[in-house]
Amino acid sequence: MKKMNEQNPEKDGLSVSKNVSRRDFLNISLKALGGLAAIELGVAGILFLRSRSLAGEFGGVMTIGKIEGFVPGSVVEIEDGNFYLICTEDGGFMAVYRRCPHLGCTVKWMENEQKFLCPCHSATFAKTGDFNNKLVARALDYFPVSFDKGMVKVDTTAPIVREQHLPQHVSYPG
Amino acid sequence: MSLEFIKPLRERLQHRDGGEEVELPSRDSHVRNNLILHLHPSRVPAQALRFSYTWGLGGISVVLVLLLGLTGLLLMFRYDPRVEYAYVSIQQLETEVMFGSFIRAVHHWSANFLVIASFLHLVRVFLTGSFKQGRSVNWIIGLVLFVIVLAGNFTGYLLPWDQLSYWAITVSTSLMVYIPLLGTAVRNFFLGGPQVGQAALSNFYALHVVFMPALLLGFMAYHLWKVRKNCGISQPLLKEGEKPKFKSTNPYLVNIELAAVMMVLVVVGLYAMFNPAPLGSIANPMVSPNPAKAAWYFLGLQELLLHMHPLAVMIILGLAVVTLAITPWIDRDFRDIGIYFRSAIGKRAAVFGSLLAVYLVPLAVILDEFWYDVPGWLPGVHTNITVGVIPFLITISVFMGIYFLLKSGLLFKNEKTNHSEALLGVFSFMMTGLILLTIVGIYFRGQNMALVLPF
């Protein structure tokens, strides 16, 4: 093919350039445009299929109740908010996400044993949300707690991931 | 070719020399034969017809797939893939719809039997070395088909929207999060959000009723075509000067296949009549059942998860799948193709592998439950090492150890296992181990996933 082109550049439809014939040009353009179209379709497909419920999965800022309403040392399950509100002995508040960081089961508060238990793989967590089981390498996630006019508020927009429990995860009123 | 068969019956009756009347094949039988010959060659080697060679497992799987398609279509007319109605529509199917419970049970049990049949088919093909001699591509297609079968089962698992399905899918998709870097994105992509909800149900429904069946049919057609291209199923090499014996496909092969179809229909039908498909209480995101178990065919993996970091489990699983996929290139000696366990010594290697698994796997499970406590012994070391790297290395070294032990010839007096036979020992260990872990997961795990006795 190439040889023929060299011999008779005009007659077999050779373009101005000596290196790229018209056929080559069309072939290359077709491949490039086809590749581009494939990428566009792929991206469009992924955008189309991308999660549709990321926004608004959690409830935003929730008002839970009066500060005095919670007994120090108690753990209350807030079902609508997907979390447990922990009132520490010294009057601090912490909201831990009830989803086990191991495989996503709902952890249960065991009042008698004073710990959280995940029924799926029997992972256990201390009252602070700290892990005390070999399988799970991090503490329960938590939501920030704030106080406004004597009310406890929890921002449930997105759970905060933490390696282990630290004192600064507990919020104190006032 | 003669066109005798389209003549009316009267004219098709021919008189033999002796005056006896003989009927030529009818048009019906001609069409029938033609259909059969689209799938099969006109003659098959007598060797290939031995039922105790294939156990009909591939054919049984095909019948189950067809049964699944038929019952699945019927179920689609009655099922409603919205979270508010999904569970109710299944309840109606179970209580109000004529034969609803039966159709659902047939679909459910066919799917479960398909997992078993295709697993046994895979094992059979490995044991007879049928991935050798130009069959490597079809071996990989077979592995892909097995994954599609599992994925089809998995996506169907969520649809009843009961506690069983909700938590099984929650647990399994949470596993995806442990994929490095992409984990959370992949999980959110499949679930359509961070939790199992309407988006997840829609996704799984679309995947289950269209995507998986289409993929399955496509690969299955290719799988069957490839068997034809490989000149039929595998069989032992002929000795020098030996001539292959052939039998006609119709009736010899066709009769076996018809018998297998009948047997599958009877077994599945009877089983479904006496065992309705399970349905728990409606899905409740607030309460995980105790214990929360995955579908039974994933319980072997869930059992591993009790002992190791999820990433270690995933790497082991990935390595196992990749090793299986490249087996035709690792084991290229095709002289033993078509012979169960390769040879007498290969059989002993396989029995050794299986027995070792019977001994080691339960022992490891019990030791880990009651005694083994690496994180406690190595305080201060990160759990990624104590429950991740260490158990991973132990597992891999057991596999390697079996191979080299068999290869060294220390085990059997005067006889050395070759490469192919040693691999067979490792395979037997792996498969027996997987089955044992699954049994432990199904029967020996109770509340809080603690070890319990089932009786």
pLDDT at A161: 84
> What ipTM describes this predicted complex?
0.71
How many DSSP H helices and E strands does chain A contain?
2, 10
- Predicted pLDDT of residue A55: 47
Instruction: Tell me how many residue pairs between chain A and chain B have CB atoms under 8 A apart.
Output: 83
| CA diameter of chain B | 99
Q: What is the pLDDT of residues A29-85, one digit of tens each?
A: 999 999 999 999 999 988 887 766 554 456 678 888 888 888 888 898 888 778 899
* Right CATH for B43-289 from 3.90.1570.10, 3.20.20.70, 1.20.1250.20, 1.20.810.10: 1.20.810.10
Tell me B246's DSSP state: E
Contact A164, A130 (CB under 8 A): yes
Q: How confident is the model at residue A102, as a pLDDT?
A: 81
B290 CB neighbours in chain A (<8 A) are: 119
Percentage of chain A modeled with pLDDT above 70: 82
| Domain locations along chain B | 4-35, 43-289, 299-455
pLDDT of B24 reads: 66
Chain B hits for A135, Cβ within 8 Å: 305-306, 309, 387
Q: What does the block give as tokens for B356? A: 């070792």
The tally of CA atoms less than 13 A away on the side-chain side of residue A24 is 12
Helix axes B83-95, B198-206, angle to 10 degrees: 60
Task: Reply yes or no on domain A61-169 having CATH 3.40.50.300.
Answer: no
Residue with tokens 């009927």: B23
Write down the pLDDT at residue A160.
85
Q: In chain A, where are the structural domains located?
A: 2-49, 61-169
The confidence score (pLDDT) of residue B22 equals: 63
The interface residues of chain B toward chain A in range 280-309, judged by CB-CB distance below 8 A, are 285-292, 305-306, 309
Instruction: Return the pLDDT at B290.
Output: 78
Pick the range with the lowest mean pLDDT from A117-126, A138-147, B244-253.
A117-126
Q: How distant, in Å, are the alpha carbons of A87, A128, B8 from that of A152?
A: 11, 18, 92
Distance CA B125, CA B118 (A): 10
Which run of H or E residues covers position A115? strand A115-117
CB contact under 8 Å between A121 and B306, yes or no, is: yes
Query: Cα separations (Å) of B413 from A144, B14, B260, B408?
Result: 69, 69, 43, 11
Q: Return the axis-axis angle of helices B100-127 and B136-158, rounded to nearest 10°.
A: 150
Quote the pLDDT of residue A56: 44
Please answer whether residues B249 and B37 qualify as being in contact, where contact means their C-beta atoms are separated by less than 8 angstroms: yes
For residue A84, what is the nearest residue in chain B, using CA coordinates? B286
Q: Which pLDDT score, from 0 to 100, does residue B146 have?
A: 97
Q: Do A119 and B289 touch (CB under 8 A)?
A: yes
Beta-carbon separation of B170 and A57 below 8 A: no
Q: Which residues of chain B are under the pLDDT cut of 50?
A: 1
The pLDDT of residue B7 is 57
| Integer Cα distance of B57 and A51 in angstroms | 40
pLDDT in tens, B117-144: 999 999 999 999 999 888 999 999 999 9
More confident residue, B106 or A103: B106
**With 60 as the cut, is the pLDDT of residue A126 above it?**
yes
Q: What gap in Å lies between CA B417 and CA B389, rounded to an integer?
A: 31
| Residue A12 confidence (pLDDT) above 60 | no
